[in-house]
Amino acid sequence: MWTADTPHFIQKPEYRYIRQTNSLGLPDVEWNRKKDTRRRLLALGDSFTEGDGAPQDSCYVSLLSDMLNKDSATWELMNAGVCGSDPFFNYINYKERLAVYKPDIIIQSLSAGDVLTDMATKGGLNRFSNDQKLTPLKSPWWEPVFAISYVSRAFFYALGYNQQLVKQTLTKQMKNDYDAELIRLFEAYDSIALENNARLYIVIRPDNKYEVMDSQPYYDFASVIGALRQHPNIQIVELLPMYKEYFRAREKSNIDDYYWPVDGHPNSRGYGLMASITYNAVFARPDFSVEKK
C-alpha cells in the first residue's frame, strides 16, 4: 500500500510517472462509501493494474472506464492495483477494507508470475496471521535481481532457470500444491464476494510480452479453472489467446511498440490494448452479467 493522500513516483530508468493516492493509499481518487446510480467495478491486481509504465490516466483501469462510459456515465471504476501485490494480498485487502464499498463486480488479475514468483517466494494465505497482518517470509537472495524488470526474467529463462532461479522443472507435487492453494484462495474470495453481492471475475493475463510470443503459457491453470468453474458466481477469463490472436492478425504490428524495452511493463499503448482486450473478453460476451449467481 502507498502512503495515504500522498503523491509518489513510479520511476524506472526509462520513465517517471507521478501517482496520486486516496485515503486508502490506493492509486485513485477518493471513493464515497455510499454508491450512486452507477455500477461499481473494483479492479485488484499488481503493477499491471496500477499502471506501472504509463501516466495515471493511461492505466488499463482508466482506459477501460472510458470505454464503458463512452455513451453514458453508467460505471464507476475503482483502481485497487498496487505494484508488487498479488491475489492473496488483494483478497485480504478486499475482505478487510474494500468490501464496504459494495462493488457489483470484482476483476482480480492473475498471471503466472503471481504463482511462480510471488507464491513461490512469499507463500499463500499462510503468510497472513490471524489478525490479517502480514507475516514476512524470508526472501531468496536473488529476489532483488529478478525484480529489476520483466526483461531480466527473459534473460534468466534463456539460461534455463525457472522463476525461482533454479535450474529444475516444476515438479508435479509443486504444481499440485500451487493449484490447491489457488483454489482455496478463490473459493474464499468468492465466499466474501457472495456475502457482499459482488460477482467475481478472475482475469488471467499474460505475464509479459515474452509469454505472448512463446508457444506455451508459463503456467498451466487448467486444473484451477476446472475446479473454480463449479462455482457459478466465479467467471474466469483468459486473455493470453486474445493477445496472441491480436498480434497474429496484425503481422505489421510490432509487439515491442506496446512494452518498455528495458523494464518490460506495458506503455500507454500497451495498456490501451489491455483495456480493449479486457473489454471484449468480459463485457462484450453474450453471457456477461453483473448479477451474482
Residue 48's CATH number:
3.40.50.1110
How many domains would you assign to the chain?
Answer: 1
- pLDDT band at 168; cut points 50, 70, 90: low
pLDDT(289) > 80:
no
pLDDT tens, residue by residue, 128-162: 876 555 444 444 444 455 445 555 665 555 555 55
Percent of all residues in the chain with a pLDDT value above 90, rounded to a whole number: 68
**DSSP SS3 for 11:** strand
Question: What pLDDT score was predicted for residue 130?
Answer: 63
pLDDT tens, residue by residue, 276-286: 999 999 999 88
Q: Average pLDDT, whole number, for the chain?
A: 88
Kindly state whether residue 161 falls inside one of the protein's structural domains: no
Kindly state whether residue 276 falls inside one of the protein's structural domains: yes
pLDDT(127) > 90:
no
Question: What pLDDT score was predicted for residue 293?
Answer: 66
Instruction: Tell me the three cell numbers of residue 261.
Output: 524495452
3-state DSSP helix/strand/coil percent for the chain, to nearest 5?
A: 40, 15, 45
Length of the chain: 293
List helix spans (H) across the chain: 47-50, 60-68, 87-93, 112-113, 120-122, 143-146, 150-158, 172-195, 209-213, 222-228, 240-248, 268-278
pLDDT tens, residue by residue, 34-92: 999 999 999 999 999 999 999 999 999 999 999 999 988 999 999 999 998 999 999 99
pLDDT(257) > 90:
yes
Which domain range does residue 45 map to?
Answer: 8-136+178-283
Global confidence as pTM: 0.88
* Euclidean distance between CA atoms 50 and 27, whole angstroms: 7
* Euclidean distance between CA atoms 245 and 71, whole angstroms: 28
Question: What pLDDT score was predicted for residue 86?
Answer: 94
- pLDDT band at 21; cut points 50, 70, 90: very high
Smallest Cα–Cα separation from 271: which of 261, 285, 260, 282? 260
8 A C-beta contact, residue 60 and residue 269: no
Q: How far is CA 10 from CA 3, 90, 178, 188, 213, in A?
A: 13, 20, 31, 32, 27
Kindly state whether residue 103 falls inside one of the protein's structural domains: yes
Kindly state whether residue 143 falls inside one of the protein's structural domains: no
pLDDT tens, residue by residue, 209-239: 999 999 899 999 999 999 999 999 999 999 9
Kindly state whether residue 104 falls inside one of the protein's structural domains: yes
